Amino acid sequence: MISTTNKDMLEWLDTHIEKSYGNFIDGEWKETFSGSTFPLYNAANKHQVLGYFQNSTEVDVDQAVEAAHHAFKSWSKVPGPERGAIIFRFADLLEQNAEELSYMLSAEQGKALAESKGEVLRAAKEARFCAGEASRIEGDTLPGERANVTSSTMRQPIGVVAAIAPWNFPVVTPVRKIAPALAYGCTVVYKPASATPWTSVKLMQLLEKSGVPKGVVNFISGSGSKVGTPLINHPLVKGISFTGSTDLGIQINERAARRLVKTQLELGGKNPAVVLDFDNAEDIAKQIVPAAFACSGQRCTSLSRVIVVKDKKQELTEALLKELQNIKVGPSWQSDISMGPLINQQHLESVQEYLSAGIREGAKLLYGGEVLNTGQFADGAYMQPALLDSVTPQMRVAGEEIFGPVLCVMEAEDQEDALDIANSVSYGLAASVFTSQFSAAHQFVQESEVGMVHVNHGTASAAHMPFGGWKHSGFGAYSIGKSNIDFFTDLKAVYYQY
């Protein structure tokens, strides 16, 4: 029996699907010059077309960048508090439209409806923080070397920013890029992932309703080769904020470096949960499992490795198994599910290949991993969350980003060995450490090679804290917090003689 909430979502979808959507350029909805569109399907129902979106080309990119460049001349001169007021209104509109955005998000991406609503509300929080930052674009006044000279520094917006977002968080990630750009006086050309462009249409509508002037934010849908590449290569683009795979991030950085253009890159992760000691294994498992399997494990900050000292391994593994059994897989419109489908069949096959590779290399599958493809699961890319044991640092599953619902358990001899294993990968995004010993926690915080450390809890970030990684997990200024100022503005030194 379908609950009232679930029925609301399904009824809403019945009356809102199969529409065509244009690009949003210079305040107008426009069809691409190519005249071509592509369909978007429900992640949990591959037969249901959610909408049709523009298969844009370089011509559309150029038009959008020109519009943003023209709008920058006036937007950059709008006082910061006024820009902030617009972003505050946008945050309010996100909350007021949270239900509709959640329906759209769950349909195109597949995550549980409760997760989707949480994402929308998180986006509103981040937008509000950025709105406040518009009034805090600070410079410094420094003592002069000469009696009649004053010295100061100031911040100025860099210009047109290319914002390129992934498919796993199609609401919060674009807001994470667009809101700070607006706060600091930049303009934006935004490209969503082709797998999740639907919620982006709603975001553009809410930005327009909040009072963002024409051309300040522009939206183009299409492929990476026909939209993304000409966008990052465009001579009027002065900064590129990208969230996605490390390989693609490196390619973008190489192209940007040839033009000496700023980049802000949020890339992959292979995040460890290092467990040194505990009083209650179930408490630790309740922190690790949600952090590993939220968004079906398709999250750059997902915990993917549990590194536990050997005398605690069996007890913790049993607690993880118990907690995993509470995960219920199903379509997003079912209120009692805790994990939806993966984004598509191709990605499911990739995750399954990693799982098979781990078993071939000697890992033991303790739980889950099977593909679900009958009954209600027939129309989506579903699998049971998997727990692998006996994983060693040499295995592919221990070093490569799987980006799916697979958690690996690894044994460490002691604290030093656990730290070495945690740091042994090329990624350095986030890590959790679980211990009651202050000295052990402090050592891990100091010596872990990651951008974000969580002590005694899962990898949950805050809406006002800088977000970013080390090594192959990130490059450039951290996002979310006040560190955004280092990407969206340039520093200028000023000397006044009087």
Calculate the alpha carbon distances from 321 to 315, 337, 389 in Å.
10, 18, 11
DSSP secondary structure, 25-64, as one string: ETTEEE--TT--EEEEEETTEEEEEEEEEE---HHHHHHH
Q: How confident is the model at residue 7 (pLDDT cuts 50, 70, 90)?
A: confident
The tens digit of pLDDT for each residue in 95-149 reads: 999 999 999 999 999 999 999 999 999 999 999 999 999 999 999 999 999 999 9
In a domain, 363, yes or no: yes
Whether residue 222 is found in the same domain as residue 315: no
In a domain, 460, yes or no: no
Whether residue 261 is found in the same domain as residue 283: no
The tens digit of pLDDT for each residue in 389-441 reads: 999 999 999 999 999 999 999 999 999 999 999 999 999 999 999 999 999 99
- The set of residues, in sequence order, having a beta carbon less than 8 Å from that of 73 and lying 6+ positions away, is none
Whether residue 201 is found in the same domain as residue 251: yes
DSSP secondary structure, 405-438, as one string: SEEEEEEESSHHHHHHHHTTSSEESEEEEE-S-H
pLDDT at 4: 40
Q: How confident is the model at residue 2 (pLDDT cuts 50, 70, 90)?
A: very low
Whether residue 240 is found in the same domain as residue 325: no
* Torsion, CA 341, CA 345, CA 349, CA 350, rounded to 10: -80
When pLDDT is averaged across residues 50-75 and rounded to a whole number, the result is 98
In a domain, 120, yes or no: yes
Whether residue 276 is found in the same domain as residue 259: no
pLDDT at 34: 87
Q: Name the percent of the chain lying above pLDDT 90.
A: 97
pLDDT at 247 over 90: yes
CA pair distance 226, 151, nearest whole angstrom: 46
Find, among 284, 290, 313, the residue nearest to 302 by Cα.
290
Counting the structural domains of the chain, the total is 2
Which residue bears the tokens 């060995």?
A: 417
CATH number of the domain that residue 241 is part of? 3.40.605.10
In a domain, 97, yes or no: yes
Whether residue 292 is found in the same domain as residue 208: no
Which residue bears the tokens 């799916």?
A: 404
Q: How confident is the model at residue 3 (pLDDT cuts 50, 70, 90)?
A: very low
Whether residue 260 is found in the same domain as residue 334: no
pLDDT at 496 over 80: yes
pLDDT at 294 over 60: yes
pLDDT at 1 over 90: no
Helix, strand, coil percentages in the chain from 3-state DSSP, rounded to 5: 40, 25, 35
Which residue bears the tokens 């006036």?
A: 74
When pLDDT is averaged across residues 177-198 and rounded to a whole number, the result is 98
The tens digit of pLDDT for each residue in 307-334 reads: 999 999 999 999 999 999 999 999 999 9
Structure tokens at 185: 């006086």
- β-pairing, 187-191 vs 141-142, is unpaired
SS3 336: coil
Q: How confident is the model at residue 335 (pLDDT cuts 50, 70, 90)?
A: confident
Residue numbers annotated as active site: 266
Structure tokens at 314: 């069996």
Whether residue 256 is found in the same domain as residue 290: no
Round the average pLDDT of the chain to a whole number and report it: 96
In a domain, 126, yes or no: yes
Whether residue 171 is found in the same domain as residue 277: no
Is residue 454 within a helix (H) or strand (E), and if so which, with residue range?
A: strand 452-455
In a domain, 462, yes or no: no
Range of the domain at 241: 4-267+473-494
Whether residue 162 is found in the same domain as residue 239: yes
Whether residue 76 is found in the same domain as residue 19: yes
SS3 108: helix
CATH number of the domain that residue 277 is part of? 3.40.309.10
Count Cβ neighbours within 10 Å for each residue of 225-240 and write b for 16 or more, e otherwise.
ebbbbbbbbbeebbbb
In a domain, 461, yes or no: no
Q: What is the pTM of this model?
A: 0.96
Whether residue 261 is found in the same domain as residue 275: no
In a domain, 463, yes or no: no
pLDDT at 55 over 80: yes
CA pair distance 435, 432, nearest whole angstrom: 10
Return the amino acid letter for 122: R
